[in-house]
Amino acid sequence: MKKTFKAISTIALTAATGLVIFSSCSSNSDSPYYEYMPDMYRSSAIEPYVDYGEVRERYDETRSLTQSAKTPPAGTVPYYGTNKEYVLMMLPYHRLADKGMDISHGHYGKAMSDSLGFEYELAAKDANPIKINEENSKQILDSGKKLYAKYCQHCHGEKGDGKGPMVESGAYSGVPNYGTLAITDGQMFYSIYYGKGLMGAHASQLNKAEIWNVVHYINKLKDDKYPVTGSTTEDVVSEDETETEE
């Protein structure tokens, strides 16, 4: 009797297991279907870059394709290491976008200057915090050249003469020739950061150190002897230093 009961129990357990296995199958290759204790390996907390429109067979169209990663609060600053000079350089830009640039260049919701052109004129006094000399010039100019080719060359031209492919095609006009343009480092930074004329803002694509490297490269396009002419002997404040300094 005991052997018969044991045999029946074994058969019943096997059948139940098989039923669970087969019922958990799905024709959708992207679906795990039934999962054993999913809370053990699926976080219940909100995770970035996850589409919460579908969670465990439950659908919520109002949350589909919406951002799950929260936007950092205004004024927060990423961690940039312990190099004081580099950290100070990477703090939020102290110049404001000129009046009207919220409409013309998309700076909505940001603090704006009450005047037109005033902040740009003040930027003329801003010096490039990344100092260049013969020892570090190759590193800085190589970085600037790479970024310039990616973000600037299509309009400003390989030689900075304002004859990039976009201009030659007739899509844009009025792009200046750097060789004849009277502009300071600070004004170049301001123009790249916030945008100017038909040029859009690049602050979301380049960080401040990268923009200053581009400014150095533009100076190289303007003067082939740069940085020998008018350069400084101070050391560059590089991102690499932030990884090694205590």
**Average pLDDT, integer, range 33-58:** 66
Do 97 and 154 have their domain in common? yes
Residue 157 lies in a domain: yes
What is the domain count for the chain?
Answer: 2
Query: What CA–CA distance (Å, rounded) separates 199 from 174?
Result: 10
Nearest-Å Rg of the Cα atoms of the chain is 29
Helix (H) or strand (E) holding 213: helix 208-222
Considering the domain architecture, whether residues 58 and 100 belong to the same structural domain is answered as no
Q: What is the pLDDT of residues 132-171, one digit of tens each?
A: 998 999 999 999 999 999 999 999 999 999 999 999 999 9
Q: What share of the chain is helix, strand, coil (3-state, %, to 5)?
A: 40, 5, 55
Point out the domain boundary residue: 33, 63, 93. 63
Give 192: exposed, middle or buried? Use CB within 10 Å, 0-12, 13-18, 19+. Answer: buried
Residue 97 and residue 39 in one domain: no
Domain assignment present for residue 73? The answer is no
Is the whole model's pTM more than 0.75, yes or no?
no
Mean pLDDT of 39-67: 69
Q: Token digits for 119?
A: 């902040």
Same domain, 40 and 157: no
Q: What is the CATH number of the domain that holds 217?
A: 1.10.760.10
User: Could you tell me if 114 and 231 lie in one domain?
Assistant: yes
Mean local confidence (pLDDT), 32-48: 64
Q: Is pLDDT above 60 for 21?
A: no
112 by Cβ neighbours in 10 Å (0-12 / 13-18 / 19+) ranks as middle
Give the torsion through C-alpha atoms of 30, 31, 35, 40, to 10 deg.
50
Whether residues 120 and 9 fall in one domain: no
76 found inside a domain: no
Residue 68 lies in a domain: no
Query: What residue numbers bound the domain in which 27 lies?
Result: 2-63
Same structural domain for residues 41 and 100?
no
Which tens digits make up the pLDDT trace of 178-232? Answer: 989 999 999 999 999 999 998 999 999 999 999 999 999 999 999 999 997 544 4
